[in-house]
Amino acid sequence: MELDFKTKRDLGLVIVKGKIDANTALDLESRLNSIISDKKFKLIIDMKDVDFISSAGLRVLLAGLKETKKNDGELVLVGLQPQVKEVFDITGFTSLFKCCSNVKDAEKMLK
């Protein structure tokens, strides 16, 4: 898994590539915790290049969502691939997260 982070005004953009599984979820969790501790409570996670997510990855995203909401923020997922969206649908996570197809739409949602 590869992670990149960018800041746009008061938004944090995390770009994730590869698989989010038990071996990589801790890296994502560490990155999200660092961003949130820097007072970035409006987060966009670009997942268009994520082809697999395990329960460990779902747990990390849910923890990030809870932490941002606790601070009156929001977390939006972008570009869920069909196989990843299916995992979200099966687990019921689709109803928990705001999702959209591109970063520009996510930015509009967070304004």
In this prediction the pTM is 0.94
The pLDDT tens digits for 42-87 are 999 999 999 999 999 999 999 999 999 999 999 999 999 999 999 9
The DSSP symbol for 40 reads: -
What stretches of the chain show up as alpha helix (H) in DSSP?
Answer: 25-37, 55-70, 82-91, 103-109
User: Strand 2-8's sheet: what is its strand order?
Assistant: 2-8, 11-20, 42-53, 74-78, 98-100
Q: What CATH fold (topology level) applies to the domain 2-103?
A: Transcription Regulator spoIIAA (3.30.750)
Instruction: Provide the 3-class DSSP secondary structure of residue 5.
Output: strand
AA identity, residue 17: K
List the domain boundaries for the chain. Answer: 2-103
